[in-house]
Amino acid sequence: MTDFELKLNEFYMERVGKGDSLMTAERRVRRIRWLSKNIDIFKPDLKKIYEYIESRQRGGIKKKTIRIEMMDLEHWFSFIGQGLRMPRLKKEPSPDPFVPSPDQIKKILEFCDVHKNREVWYRNRLIIELFAYTGVRVGELVKVNIEDIRDGMLYVRSEKGEKDRHVPLPSKLQEHITVYLEKYRMQSDQRALLTTDQGRMPYEYIRSMVKKIGMRIGLPELHPHSFRHFYGTYLYRNTNDLRLVQILLGHARIETTTIYENLMTKEAAEKGRSAVEKLFRDGEDLILEVQIPAGAGQNKWEHWDSNPDLRVSSWFIVPVTHHKFR
């Protein structure tokens, strides 16, 4: 192991000691390793760092990604005793997350079913079902052990320092888990639910597998977190209970969960659009039907247009009361 890798290992241990989850600390190490290929991470040079940021933006990299890189770099410089405040990029408004529809979930599962290698693809299909019908994160799923499934529930160890939680397993999903354990699970790890031929399934495999499926079926925006959004969205739609959604997703703050309430509000607005359009058209038709024929009513208000205290509407003439504003 090189001196740099030893230093990265020390950095990893420090971040875990300061409260990072194992997955978060691993991601920080990966980013520092990547950054070391582009800038000198032992001799901080702000000019070079700004040039790196500019090149990343020209390459179309999102500000959010660059902001995370700068945060990790700041932690790294603090670790090596080179305390330096990194550039802060203005936060962009968060776009609405991609939420797959039930039909798209069905299409993904059907894609898994057509493969002949059942040992691999029955497992991959089970991964999709666990994502979609329990709302777990990738880092939480890879930590699931066989004993975490009991009494129709899945015990989830939070990856973000939140409370661990239990989530219900649909009966059909329980049956699929049983079949997987009996027929298709690779016996390379004694405890892990999800395994490869080399042991517990790694985080990167799942992300890559989901991304490849998305590209193959015409959903390039698909990623593991999409299924969590699916779970939260349809759970809220069917229960209208935001607190329940918060508990089952394991959110520490209810404000995080309100994204699904906001999505439902936008969905309702879109559904209401056609209804309002129809209402408007029907209203116009009604107005046309009751319009006053030309010349009608002139005996009563022969010169209504010259009277400042009268206004005409589409249906009738009404007096207007004037007010003085102070």
For the chain, the structural domain boundaries read: 3-79, 102-260
Q: Which two tokens stand for residue 292?
A: 């006053």
β-pairing, 153-156 vs 149-150, is antiparallel
What value does the mean pLDDT of the chain take?
84
- Smallest CA-to-CA distance from 96 within 270, 260, 302, 311 is with 260
Q: What is the pLDDT of residue 213?
A: 97
Q: Which two tokens stand for residue 9?
A: 């290992």
pLDDT at 37 over 70: yes
* 297 Ramachandran zone, left/alpha/beta (phi>0; psi -120 to 50): left
User: What average pLDDT does this structure show over 137-164?
Assistant: 91
- Smallest CA-to-CA distance from 134 within 161, 85, 185, 170 is with 170
The owner of tokens 């299409």 is: 107
Percent of the chain at pLDDT above 70? 82
- Smallest CA-to-CA distance from 165 within 260, 244, 254 is with 244
Banded pLDDT at 317 (limits 50, 70, 90): very low
pLDDT at 31 over 80: yes
Question: Is residue 47 helix, strand or coil?
Answer: helix
CB 52 within 8 A of CB 39: yes
pTM of the model: 0.64
pLDDT at 5 over 70: yes
CB atoms within 10 A of CB 3: 7
CB 214 within 8 A of CB 203: no
DSSP 88: -
User: What average pLDDT does this structure show over 299-325?
Assistant: 45
Banded pLDDT at 259 (limits 50, 70, 90): confident
pLDDT at 310 over 50: no
More confident residue, 294 or 254: 254
pLDDT tens digit string along 270-287?
766 767 777 777 666 655
Banded pLDDT at 162 (limits 50, 70, 90): confident
CA–CA dist 184, 116 (Å, integer): 13
Banded pLDDT at 256 (limits 50, 70, 90): confident
- 102-260 has CATH 3.40.190.10 classification: no
Please give the positions annotated as active site. Answer: 137, 160, 225, 228, 251, 260
CA–CA dist 96, 94 (Å, integer): 7
pLDDT at 217 over 70: yes
Q: Which two tokens stand for residue 171?
A: 């009966």
Q: Which amino acid is at 242?
A: L
pLDDT tens digit string along 103-141?
999 999 999 999 989 999 999 999 999 999 999 999 999
What is the C-alpha R_g of the chain?
30
Banded pLDDT at 304 (limits 50, 70, 90): very low
CB 206 within 8 A of CB 141: yes
